[in-house]
Amino acid sequence: MTKIGYLRVSTQEQRPDRQIEGLRNRCDYLYMETLSAVSPRRPIFETVIERLGPGDTLVVWDLDRAFRSVLDAVTQAERLRQKGIEFQIANLEIDTATPAGMLVYTVMSAFAEFERRLLVQRTKEGLAAARRRGTRLGRPPKLDDAQLDQARQRLSSENETTASIAKEFGVAPWTLTRSLRRQCAKPLPLGP
């Protein structure tokens, strides 16, 4: 009867410390995966599921660390149950081996998906509001308008190359070319 812990972080910058601390004393083995929850394939998760056998237990710290949606969570829990594998969510003390645990698990899965969808919706609304206010999103430009005007002048009147001007400004030639195109595409300000 082996207990295998599955941990997941979305990016290399995310720290799994909380999950490791929560699962270390509960599990015989820990497997960690670094990828988004919505990734179509989760190779480490698939390896963990293959390794589990009847009488074993899959343990995760949080529900959203293992499953993409309510349907995924309930489907996986049912597959595990049919193979004789128990499933536990450590921070909620939920054990799907019991009818009450399965009920709580199903309800918690629904709430977790609802929370994730709300977060996505709020993020989209916040980005749209920022755009309406005229806030520039993304990375700041590497070249300002004055540098682009100077580059355009030099390219049209002198025997200079995009590569030499880009090197002088400390950017790649493609960055200069793309920035010049963007500047041309900007709408002109309307006068009073």
Evaluate whether 71 touches 79 at the Cβ level (below 8 Å): no
Cα 142 from Cα 160, distance rounded (Å) = 20
Evaluate whether 179 touches 141 at the Cβ level (below 8 Å): yes
Is residue 10 annotated as a catalytic residue, yes or no?
yes
User: Considering 10, 39, 156, 179, which one is annotated as catalytic?
Assistant: 10
Sign of CA dihedral 155, 159, 163, 169: negative
Strands 57-60 and 29-34: unpaired
SS3 80: helix
Backbone angles phi, psi at 39, to 5 degrees: -60, 140
Evaluate whether 87 touches 117 at the Cβ level (below 8 Å): no
Q: Which residues are catalytic?
A: 10
